[in-house]
Structure 1
Amino acid sequence: MADKMSTYHPRLAKNLSMEPMNIDEAKWITLKKIKYKDPSGKERLWESAERQTRAKNSEIDAVGVVAVLKDPNTPEKGPALLLQKQFRPALNKVAIESPSGLVDEGESPADAAVRELREETGYVGRIPKDAAAAEGFLMWNDPGFTNTNTKMIFVEVDMSDPRNQHPKPELEEGEYIETFTIPLSSLWEELSRLDAEGYAIDARVGGLAQGIEVARKWREALGNGSA
């Protein structure tokens, strides 16, 4: 695991209170009541939450960074996934997440991913040109609850680059993020351990780990000649 990027461990944080909030107080989100017609023609109502931070003329809220660390000088170590521990008040837990952030006005998702990676972790990365899924499709975070969305961007971090030897994040006031790595080969096992320890596993990180396990099992099945 990488060295901590903060002198404050995320688990030192905790919620002090929770109460209903007047919608007029909300700065970042809003609630919507939607009237719609179902396939049978019946009118129904739906409740939805929306961000108030989406940039103008953009359909994208945020990016997540699938940052893979590779060192060409030590290929035997294999690639590792860069992750973060961050306290999330909505959960009252520390979440295991990928670096992420909102897309600024006029900014491309790829540029936002490289910027967020540098700001939150200090690492300098690049978008691989030969990866078909380097810039993923638009993913809807929780369609039954909100219209917020994310693009997951694949970024390679060359650990032989001198800029990545002693990364220094540029965290905003109030941000306390611990950065660490997990080998891709043991991602599922390590996340299972963290889950058992009480950490909250972000759905995108968990989905990536589960996808790797499914692909591994499928490949084994094909190799055995079975469907």
Structure 2
Amino acid sequence: MIRLEEKTIKSETIFEGRVVRLQIDQVELPNGETSTREIVKHPGAVSVMAVTNENKLVLVRQFRKPLEKTILEIPAGKLESGEDPIDCAFRELEEETGYRAAEMQHVYSFYTSPGFADEYLHLYLAKGLTKGKNQPDQDEFVELVELTLEECLDKIAEGDICDAKTVAAVLLWQNRTLRGRSG
């Protein structure tokens, strides 16, 4: 078996913000040479796939500064220190959309960009939705949008749904629909 691991020789934090920390690591490569790795440290996040009784996916339209454009996404948010992901899922769904869920079912968790970041994202399926009033964070401006599966697939093709978590959720919803499972 080929040795693939890299040994960290030195690690330096060069930026620490509200959401991420950036560190530069000097590593020893498997062949003995050295290299530099730029790593984004992230506390983790949740995303919520919520399908209404009318069989529409609950999304938010939001401007994303790194992309310099507005996109459609499933509700999501960063984990607070020590927060249980399921609690975060309930909180984010209600804050961003106003919907409350009677139940959250963990679907899967995955790394979003393992080439440079350690963000681990938990996807939940919200069940038993009831509509309330959304209360986004003070610096968060979102518009609630509800789309059918076909409309979501069209929005992916048009580039309006273009983030990995939402594309994955829509494809999972499509797969579940084809297999005759709800949500």
Please, what TM-score do these two structures have when normalized by structure 1?
Answer: 0.63
Aligned counterpart for 1:148 among listed residues 112, 119, 138: 119
Query: 2:144 matched to 1:179?
Result: yes
Query: 2:51 matched to 1:68?
Result: yes
Query: 2:20 matched to 1:29?
Result: yes
Aligned counterpart for 1:202 among listed residues 155, 163, 177: 163
C-alpha separation between the residues in 2 aligned to 1:215 and 1:168? Answer: 29
Aligned to 1:43: 34
**What code does the residue aligned with 2:111 have?**
W
Q: 1:213: how far off?
A: 5.5
Note closer, same or farther for the CA distance 1:211–1:135 as it changes in structure 2 (3 Å cut).
closer
Quick one: higher RCO (CA 8 Å, sep 6+), 1 or 2? 1
**What code does the residue aligned with 1:110 have?**
I
C-alpha separation between the residues in 2 aligned to 1:140 and 1:84? Answer: 22
Aligned to 2:62: 86
C-alpha separation between the residues in 2 aligned to 1:154 and 1:171? Answer: 20
Note closer, same or farther for the CA distance 1:172–1:211 as it changes in structure 2 (3 Å cut).
closer
Do 2:48 and 2:93's aligned partners in 1 also have CA atoms closer than 8 Å? yes
**What code does the residue aligned with 2:157 have?**
S
Return 5+ residue gaps in structure 2 as ranges.
1-13
Aligned to 2:109: 138
What SS does the corresponding residue of 1:188 show, helix, strand or coil?
Answer: helix
Over residues 121-176 of structure 1, what are the superposed CA-to-partner deviations in whole Å (9 max), with x where a residue is unaligned? Answer: 11111325xxxxx3133311111121112101111243xx5xx2xx3111222221
Q: 1:200: how far off?
A: 5.6
Higher helix share: 1
Note closer, same or farther for the CA distance 1:190–1:88 as it changes in structure 2 (3 Å cut).
closer
Q: 1:100: how far off?
A: 1.0
C-alpha separation between the residues in 2 aligned to 1:140 and 1:25? Answer: 21
Aligned to 2:89: 113
Do 1:110 and 1:127's aligned partners in 2 also have CA atoms closer than 8 Å? no
Higher strand share: 2
Q: Which has the larger radius of gyration?
A: 1
Aligned counterpart for 2:155 among listed residues 190, 199, 205: 190
Note closer, same or farther for the CA distance 1:28–1:104 as it changes in structure 2 (3 Å cut).
closer
**What code does the residue aligned with 1:35 have?**
Q
RMSD: 2.6
**What code does the residue aligned with 1:187 have?**
C
Q: 1:192: how far off?
A: 2.1
C-alpha separation between the residues in 2 aligned to 1:186 and 1:95? Answer: 14
C-alpha separation between the residues in 2 aligned to 1:90 and 1:62? Answer: 18
C-alpha separation between the residues in 1 aligned to 2:144 and 2:108? Answer: 26
What SS does the corresponding residue of 2:102 show, helix, strand or coil?
Answer: coil
Aligned to 1:99: 75
